[in-house]
Amino acid sequence: MNAHFENKPAVQAAIFDWAGTLVDFGSLAPTQIFVEVFAQFGIQISLEQARGPMGLSKWQHISALLAEPAIQQQWQDKMGHPSTDADIDAMYRRFMPLQLTRVGDYSAPIAGAPEVLTWLRNAGIKIGSCSGYPREVLNVVLANAIPAGVSPDYAVAGDELPAGGRPGPYMALANVLALAVSDVRQCIKIDDTTPGIEEGRNAGMWCVGVTVSGNEVGYSLAEMAGATPEQIARRKAIASERLLGAGAHYVIDSVADLPEIVMAIDARIKAGETP
């Protein structure tokens, strides 16, 4: 990393999402499994539909998908009644073992993530993280990511807080408490989903949206290699618009681009600006 601080940074902590931000380029693990789980109940959803509520905790994600009129109509045509919380519970029970089986296959760090975390740590900036994954699943991600160099100081899962998950500020604020950060306005939330950006804004933090590696663009590495520059630019523009619309102060292609943004935010904090 060429970027370096001349003096102690004002930024106290960087708080990262996981899938699509630190690991799992394209945020593929949860997307594929939502499609499979719905298919087990005779409901056909597309990968694009599955991506729609990404960033929410997984039970809430299933609920949000079933609230989509076209998907709800499929459910009623198939089951003969509107979906209930008990139905969401049943789908979630199917989701969990599939997720536990598959998530390890999608835990590879996004290029540059280990180096960026090392750069932050060397600068004295604390590293937090949070995920829409439940704790059981996040533990599998951590077991794969930590040996590969993606090792935050703290990680909280989407099912661990009584107050709930995104877009509420609770997981971001749990990081503030765990990391002993004295001012939320000196934290940066980095996320590839709109609920994750809203989480950071609701917590009073600076927010950085991630486009190319994340859910909003949605390419796997292989798909991106086969896409034209025009196709990539079009998806990236839509992703940027959505993330900025959710409140992101900056957007970047991937975590590898973060250091310059951290330094820009640091300068703004030192100049007296707030999120």
Closest Cα partner for 24 from 190, 141, 153, 134? 141
**58: annotated active-site residue:** yes
Helices (H), the chain: 28-40, 47-51, 58-67, 69-79, 85-102, 113-122, 135-145, 170-178, 194-202, 221-226, 229-245, 258-270
User: In the beta sheet, which residues pair with residue 13?
Assistant: 126, 187
Q: Which tokens in the block code for residue 124? A: 């004295």
CB 23 within 8 Å of CB 110: yes
Non-local (6+) Cβ contacts of 181 within 8 A are: 12, 13, 126, 175, 187
Q: Which of the 8 DSSP states describes residue 163?
A: T
3-state secondary structure of 126: strand
Q: Which of the 8 DSSP states describes residue 159?
A: T
Name the catalytic one among 24, 58, 189, 192: 58
Angstrom CA distances, 125 to 2, 158, 171, stand at: 17, 24, 18
**192: annotated active-site residue:** no
Backbone φ and ψ for 233, nearest 5 degrees, come out as -60, -40
Angstrom CA distances, 230 to 152, 214, 254, stand at: 35, 18, 18
The span from the CA of 86 to the CA of 72, in Å, is 15
The span from the CA of 35 to the CA of 17, in Å, is 22
Give the residue numbers annotated as catalytic, written as ranges. Answer: 17, 58
